[in-house]
Amino acid sequence: MLRIPATMLRRSSRGYCVSKHGTALPKRRISSSSLIDIAPEVRETLRHTPQLVVALESTIITHGMPYPHNLDTALEVEQIVRQQGAVPATIAIVGGRIKVGLAADQLRLLARNDSGTQTLKTSRRDMAYVMATGRNGGTTVAGTLLVADAVGIRIFATGGIGGVHREGERTMDVSADLIELGRCPVAVVSSGVKSILDIPRTLEYLETQGVCVTTYGSEDCEFPAFYTRSSGSKAAYNLTSATVAAKMLHMNRALGLGSGILIGVPIPERYAMDAAEMNAVIAEALGDAERKRIQGKEVTPFILSAVSALTRGKSLDANMGLIKNNAHVAADIAVELARLENGSSEMERKDDTSLAADGAGAPLIIGGSVIDICISVLEDDLKLDGATYHAKQDSSAGGVARNIAEGIYKIYGNVNLISAVGNDQNGVHIRKLLPEHCASSIVTLGNCPTASFTVLLDRKGDCQLVVGDMEAHKAITPDWIKSHSELIQQSPMTVIDANISEAAMITVFEECIRYNRPVFFEPTDMRIAARPFYSDNAKLTILAKRAIKFISPNIHELAQIAQALHYPGSIPTKSMNEYGTVNELLADVRPLGLFVSETIDHVLVTLGHYGVAVFRRTSPTVPFFNSAHQYQPIMDGSGTQGRFYPGRKHAQIVNVSGAGDSFTSGFIAGALAGRSEPVCVNVALEAAGCALQSRGAVADQYFNRTHPCWLNEEGAPFRPLDQ
């Protein structure tokens, strides 16, 4: 590392001091850490590997996009950062407190602006007022830079920065973003300067502030203009890769320069807009702003809104596309910076966290996509007599296969889903919950609505009626599956739910046997849990026994499967609520699990709040997959071993509907990462806990590979279930 003389650093006007190792450290400019609340995940990462944290601004949520696009984009941007192996830290002010890392409910609060008072656009000048009055604030680039630097975050992803406004030589309207870039040694990854501004003068001003301006992946150093890939202005340098960018960030810190770096990433071509069209639209929007006397910090959100209207939403799509791409680039640089400054251990983490990012190791999920509708009656004495009752209705995306696919995507990083939806708004909504490349194998039906599942609850919350329209599932035909056989061939594992037809199951089993790929069967419901093992369909049963290597039933589904496999003992009939103790429950589960595991290699029995029982013909230290994502068949020939992993207590449970599916998602993510059984169960239980605290079946966000559930090699504690 390059050493800078301490005397030089002490004389610096940039506010730097010297560490005991002689390297430059920033002098924090928010005087009291008691003013900042840092999310636990972010705090732990800053403590151990601060290079992995990527700051995200919140003005894009509060003032940059309409609801619900702002919330959807914010959640997806955070997930993109996680998938690349970094940790997102969205920065905002909530209730007069600076927040570094927002929970899903806080993101939703800012996106909807439900607080009753206006959320303020917050730059450096506004921060004291917003906090003193207990308001909510969406931090601008300048405000976010100030906080990021204060807590030690080195990389920041945004859409576009502010700059010198057009006619700035007359109005002196210059964004504080430029000043703060000159003060904070933070790298800002953006699609350049917003094209509504004077870009040449902005670049000149940045040079005066000592800010190094580069492009990323633009050989001719053509600086981007937000909506368009070219502004007509040139940057000083071009960074060819995340590794090169990380080296520059490292040297900027080692030199103690005290100023930031602006990395201009061109908007992806598929989202880029025509420059001539945008210039005309911007000119019209600027004229409208002048006529309406829009001034100060209200100018930019006004013009962005006007541009979106004038382009009929195309600019909004461009805005969403570029910020996601910038988050991807920033996370890649963060991971490379961690590797550079912390050695090979971080490279190993990079390989681990991004093992599915390029499509390798992406599991294939086949089964139902559903819209779950919950109707809660608000009156007493509900009777199914045809009368009208006042009720509250909630709807969310569901379906076992779809839930598992979304969970795996959010935890593991990539997935493919074969499913069917209608050509309706529900189908559009379901498709949007996965990126296009993951959902490309979903068939859209022209003559059938998206499957739906409606539950009627009385005022006490008890279920009175359940109805479902599952006709769409029939579109998952053998021919449709065969047309995507390359996904089975490329996938390390195929997961199916019990909603697909027996003919479709046979096709899946045949293809998986052909390519030597394991099947994970999710039983879905006790009435259909044993479908692959029906004795009156000999071909299906034979193929199922050969292909299915994993299964995740609850006790009732386990009983149905054991019965279909001709279990010689008596089948328990108690409901979960009738078991007084966990030992009483395990006494019924153990013989069933041991029996079924003679046919299926890995039996994971979910036991609600009690925990999970695992039955395998091998020890818990043996991983399910190797580092190349290849399934490891059981070879040791030992008898079945049963292990019980206790559940975890949760202070608040919002929804139980998706916990089992999230458990499966977490377990598969751990298995494909080559982890041992206890670690896989640990990850699975953590994922289930996230779902329990979410309103939807799938949590808004889970955790990345830096979470302790991944890092404990011993994993979750268990006790053996003696043979």
d(CA 560, CA 2): 67
Tokens 């139902």 locate to 368
CA distance 693 to 703: 14
Phi/psi at 519 (5° precision)? -110, 135
- Which of 99, 194, 314, 549 is catalytic? The answer is 194
Residues 6+ apart with CB under 8 A from 112: 67, 71
Alpha-carbon distance of 719 to 691, in angstroms, equals 25
- Return the C-alpha torsion angle 361, 365, 370, 376, nearest 10: -70
DSSP code per residue over 589-649: HHHHHHHHTTTSSEEEEE-GGGEEEEEESS-TTS-SB-TTS-B----S-PPPEEEEEE---
Tokens 């309207």 map to which residue? 173
Alpha-carbon span 519 to 294, nearest angstrom: 60
Please state, as a whole number, how many other Cβ atoms lie within 10 Å of the Cβ of residue 428: 13
Are 378 and 392 contacting, i.e. CB atoms less than 8 angstroms apart?
yes
Q: Rounded to whole angstroms, how far apart are CA atoms 610 and 659? A: 13
Question: Which of 57, 180, 511, 686 is labelled catalytic?
Answer: 57
Angle ∠(588,591,594) on CA atoms, nearest 5: 135
| Alpha helical stretches, state H, 269-381 | 275-291, 299-310, 314-342, 344-353
What is the per-residue DSSP string for 152-193? T--EEE-S-B--BPTTHHHH--B-HHHHHHHH---EEEESBB
Clarify whether 57 is annotated catalytic.
yes
Catalytic residues, which ones?
57, 194
